[in-house]
Amino acid sequence: MNALPTACAGDAEIALAARRLLEGGLVAFPTETVYGLGADAENAQAVARIYAAKGRPSNHPVIVHIAPQGDVSYWAAEVPPEARLLIDAFWPGPLTLILKRAAHIADTVSGGQDSIGIRCPSHPVAQALLAAFAAGKPNGQGGVAAPSANKFGQVSPTRAEHVRSEFPGEVAAGMPVLEGGASDVGIESTILDLSRLDRGAGPVLLRPGHISAAQIEAVLGVQVFAPDAAAPRASGTLKAHYAPRTALELASDARLRDVIQGRDLPAGRVVAVAYGEPPAALDPRVQWQSVPADPARYAQALYGLLRDLDQQGYARIIVQAPPATEAWHAVNDRIGRAAAAFTLDTTDL
């Protein structure tokens, strides 16, 4: 386990949070991807508290987080060789594996499905919490069900203060929020379905993330497929998701030129989120927000930026479309779903 960074939760805070989990309460904690809202994965009432706090549909699965010393086979009915290869290559880290759920694990964590999503986070605070929680379990096997610590469908939190502002009632009632600094990755984990290998389906990439399909293919030596109609439901895969409260538009370069020149703008202030320095001929109604041209740095900054812009009273956030390349797949996925929240009919969700 890595040493705890400066200004992160200490041993006493982690011990208190572990006790809260053992008592069936909620805890917010940092991971390398985003902050999670966690509960004991084997306590149905505790998991229900996650869904109630987030306003999350009960059929939308959550991911179970385990410590590096945790036993995957406790949670999964079967751990195929492909899963072992990926665990050795990428855990601890931002990769979630969908496996067949063990019979003794309730389907409350999988939205009623026969599968389960499992990952081992690399953040030292998350690892310390998971280890302390597991140590308090009679069998030493502790898993924390934890979606992102935000209201359902909204922008995920990458700092502890984001969580506190999202759940003031829970925090006031005593929910621990463990400090862990800014999330290194900044977007949610890659999700890979391995639950249907025995039926000839997979591996299937359900959600892109920091770990790419190409990296997975290099380890497995086989192609990673796009989701099919029979793929299990997974966290963060609805058509509209990750959305700020301010209307967000995904703009082509041609549309961005129109924005710069003040054509077809909504009433009120508009911010353009784009690469490079602001052009000289920028319409005065448009504010310019430069973003990194590197996909990893962009992902790391994305959610914090959207949360900051949400507080500034803009009528619309207009985001320049990133390159349509594999390196930008995860960023495009998140921005596309955020924009879809303002363009889809509710029947599409």
165 is in an annotated binding site: no
207 is in an annotated binding site: yes
146 is in an annotated binding site: yes
Query: 206 is in which domain, residue-wise?
Result: 11-220
Q: What is the SS3 assignment for 324?
A: coil
* Same domain flag for 62 and 203: yes
Whole-Å CA distances, 293 to 103, 135, 221, 276, 298:
46, 44, 30, 8, 7
98-144 pLDDT, tens digit per residue, is: 999 999 999 999 999 999 999 999 999 999 999 999 999 999 999 99
Residue 95: CATH number of its domain: 3.90.870.10
For residue 5, what pLDDT is reported? Answer: 53
Answer whether residue 116 is part of any domain: yes
* Same domain flag for 100 and 202: yes
* Same domain flag for 257 and 117: no
Question: How many domains, the chain?
Answer: 2
49-104 pLDDT, tens digit per residue, is: 999 999 998 899 999 999 999 999 999 999 999 999 999 999 999 999 999 999 99
183 is in an annotated binding site: no
* Same domain flag for 176 and 135: yes
CB 295 within 8 A of CB 329: no
275 is in an annotated binding site: no
Strand order in the sheet with 270-275: 248-251, 316-320, 270-275, 286-291
Answer whether residue 151 is part of any domain: yes
* Same domain flag for 193 and 268: no
Answer whether residue 239 is part of any domain: no
Answer whether residue 178 is part of any domain: yes
Answer whether residue 206 is part of any domain: yes
Q: What is the pTM of this model?
A: 0.94
**pLDDT in 10s for each residue of the chain, 349 residues:** 455 555 788 999 999 999 999 999 999 999 999 999 999 999 999 999 999 999 998 899 999 999 999 999 999 999 999 999 999 999 999 999 999 999 999 999 999 999 999 999 999 999 999 999 999 999 999 999 999 999 998 999 999 999 999 999 999 999 999 999 999 999 999 999 999 999 999 899 999 999 999 999 999 999 999 999 999 998 877 777 788 999 999 999 999 999 999 998 988 999 999 998 999 889 999 999 999 999 999 999 999 999 999 999 999 999 999 999 999 999 999 999 999 989 854 333 3
148 is in an annotated binding site: yes
Answer whether residue 164 is part of any domain: yes
* Same domain flag for 23 and 140: yes
Answer whether residue 226 is part of any domain: no
* Same domain flag for 325 and 261: yes
Q: How far is Cα 334 from Cα 208, in angstroms, rounded to an integer?
A: 9
156 is in an annotated binding site: yes
